[in-house]
């Protein structure tokens, strides 16, 4: 139990994820990697409401980036920095995220004006799944207790207390999440 280091080789560069899966009890216990491979302590988001989304650039749901960006900007306008979206690119579903981290960033900004953080490409299922996603799936299984991500653009809502408050399928449009997000933001 305790800390361990997960490392794997992907697209000719090493990905390291520091995790405390065995002792993790909150979202804030994780430190995923940003687009440059630097740890991002999710403890930096303590007290905020966070929407976590696994993303892809060549998926039928990719236009949801526009909806996510609009949702983020609209809520940010009213609630400042109390809300954040974190995108986690993943290539596990039909090879729909084949590019490098730089390619992904460029695609998101040029095509959808994405300004919320896009993290380093990662796995969300299987033996090499990012420990954050392992925890998210344990905390909020899908339909019929499914403990895997079914496709790109699944969404998890994290409350101010660091607990998973909701999980939505790829087919759920970002704008339909405004109400549950605002409800979490009202909780102090």
144 vs 130: CA distance, rounded Å: 22
Contact predicate 184/58, CB 8 Å: no
Told to judge if 59 belongs to the known catalytic residues of this protein, a careful annotator would answer yes
CB neighbourhood size of 69 (10 A):
18
Residue of 33, 56, 59, 181 with catalytic role: 59
85 vs 14: CA distance, rounded Å: 25
Catalytically annotated residues: 59
């Amino acid at each position: 139990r305790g800390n361990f280091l997960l490392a794997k080789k992907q697209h000719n560069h090493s990905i390291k994820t520091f995790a405390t899966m065995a002792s993790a009890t909150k979202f804030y216990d994780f430190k995923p990697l940003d687009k440059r491979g630097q740890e991002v302590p999710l403890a930096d988001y303590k007290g905020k409401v966070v929407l976590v989304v696994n993303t892809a650039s060549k998926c039928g749901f990719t236009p949801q980036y526009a909806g996510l960006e609009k949702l983020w900007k609209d809520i940010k306008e009213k609630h400042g920095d109390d809300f954040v979206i974190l995108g986690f690119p993943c290539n596990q579903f039909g090879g729909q995220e084949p590019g490098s981290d730089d390619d992904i960033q460029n695609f998101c900004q040029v095509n959808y004006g994405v300004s919320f953080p896009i993290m380093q490409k990662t796995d969300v299922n299987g033996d090499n799944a990012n420990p954050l996603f392992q925890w998210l799936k344990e905390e909020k299984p899908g339909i019929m207790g499914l403990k895997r991500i079914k496709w790109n653009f699944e969404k998890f809502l994290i409350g101010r207390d660091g607990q998973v408050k909701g999980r939505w399928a790829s087919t759920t449009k970002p704008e339909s999440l405004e109400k549950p997000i605002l409800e979490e933001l009202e909780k102090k």
